[in-house]
Structure 1
Amino acid sequence: MHSKEIISAGKPLKDADKALIMLHGRGSNAQDILGLARHLDVEGFALLAPQATNNTWYPYSFMANSEQNEPWLTSALEVLKETLDEVVEAGIPAANCYFLGFSQGACLTLEFVARNARRYGGVIAFTGGLIGDKVNCENYSGDFEDTRIFIGSGNPDPHVPLGRVKESARMLEEMDGSVTLKIYENRPHTVSPDEIEIANALILKK
């Protein structure tokens, strides 16, 4: 199960007006995802990157039956909830809290915000989709109140099928998310400069 270990950067939480919660991918780590911050417009943000136990949030594909990924998936979602709670308790409203994830971290990010939809600062998912062998509407509740959400993904991607990405985008739109989806043909499993540019212009610059 995941212990709550968070690597911080940027402004101290108590002095910041905004916070960005960053989730690393499978086999990566918190320090690595924090390295993206040097390319992002996050001046004045508190940056928080939770660390997954053994560098993975859940053991199987995000498209496996959710039961197969338990109890790790529930534990990972709880880490994210506790991280958000910490930000809000420090005086930063959820409307000034932003989320970013890559790959497995992007899937976990989208799953968390869809299960806890409300007005957030913005959501950035670099190659990800909602978790489970199918998109289960019963898991998701709340209203994003026009929160801006950016999803970028390659086609084909070895880990994240385009069909699931599109289905996830539709689900988030139905929950009143303002979703921008961009598909990159024949792009490797990575974060591209164009995605960074869109994330900065669309989500982070306000």
Structure 2
Amino acid sequence: MYTHEKKVLTQGKPLEQSGKAIILIHGRGATAASILPLAHELGADDFTLYAPQATNNTWYPYSFMVPVAQNQPALDSALALIDETVKSIEAQGIASKDIYLLGFSQGACLTAEYATRNARRYGGLLILTGGLIGQQLDTGHYSGDFEGTPVLITTGDPDPHVPVSRVDETVQQMEGRGATVTRQVYPGRPHTILEEELALARKVLTS
């Protein structure tokens, strides 16, 4: 088991010029560098980009559907790295309503978990094939109010890693904390990101 080194790639305009940031969280086996180009596909050229890097390219060792304890201490360390990244942006004078989080697959699960444990008004949350973490959801971990934060959450049906049932549980928890959620399930879609998902994500970034 491991903890994550603090390694965050940045790209795009300086924060004092852009006034808004997007944190891109890569999937299992991928890299921060590999997810950064997604921002260009989303038309996020006016944003300052942050991409944390998982140690060993994996945020936590097992499926997000196993008991949380099995993914520790890596999971807590990953959540702490996201929190440090958010706080470093806020320390430069950017409010949470101008901070967006995007994750794919394992990174999407981490995005959902971090945001729901720290619910408030974010610019938007893009949870591309993911959901809240744990064999059963421990609602005692969740706190705050999303105050209408727009959320896009997607998966395939079936998806090899992210069941529709967990997406639905995640929607319920996030809506219960005041998020405005768009849920999209794509029959027969492989474990990837479709152009249609990118189009929906662009709407969140420009709303």
Same fold (TM over 0.5): yes
Counterpart of 2:72 in structure 1 is: 70
Give TM-score, length-normalised by structure 2: 0.97
State yes or no: 1:161 paired with 2:163: yes
Q: AA paired with 1:108?
A: L
Aligned mate of 2:128, from 120, 126, 129 = 126
Give, in whole Å, the separation in 1 of the partners of 2:93 and 2:46.
15
Alignment of 1:59-138 (within 5 A): 59-138=61-140
Kindly state the Cα deviation for residue 135 of structure 1 after the two structures are TM-superposed. Answer: 1.3
Q: Does 1:205 align with 2:206?
A: yes
Aligned counterparts of 2:70 and 2:12: Cα–Cα separation in 1:
36
The runs of 4+ residues in structure 1 deviating greater than 3 Å are none
Q: Is it true that 1:38 corresponds to 2:40 in the alignment?
A: yes
What value does the CA root-mean-square deviation take over the aligned residues?
A: 0.7
Kept in 2, the 8 Å contact 1:8–1:47? The answer is yes
| Gapped regions of structure 1 (runs ≥ 5) | none
Q: How many residues align?
A: 205
Identity %: 50
Cα distance in structure 2, aligned partners of 1:60 and 1:12: 36
Q: Could you tell me whether the CA contact under 8 Å between 2:39 and 2:45 is conserved in 1?
A: no
| SS of residue matched to 2:137 | coil
Q: Is the 8 A contact 2:155 2:163 kept in 1?
A: no
**Structure 2 match to 1:26:** 28
Question: Which residue in 2 is equivalent to 1:55?
Answer: 57
2:198 counterpart residue number: 196
Output the amino acid matched with 2:76. T
Unpaired stretches in structure 2, ≥5 consecutive residues: none
Secondary structure at 1:169 match in 2: helix
Query: For 1:72 and 1:13, how far apart are their aligned partners in 2?
Result: 29
Cα deviations by residue, 1:152-193 (Å, 9 ceiling, x for unpaired): 110000001110011111110000000000000000000000
Please state whether the residue corresponding to 1:20 is helix, strand or coil.
strand
**How many Å separate the matches in 2 of 1:100 and 1:67?**
25
CA contact (8 A) 1:41 1:205 kept: no
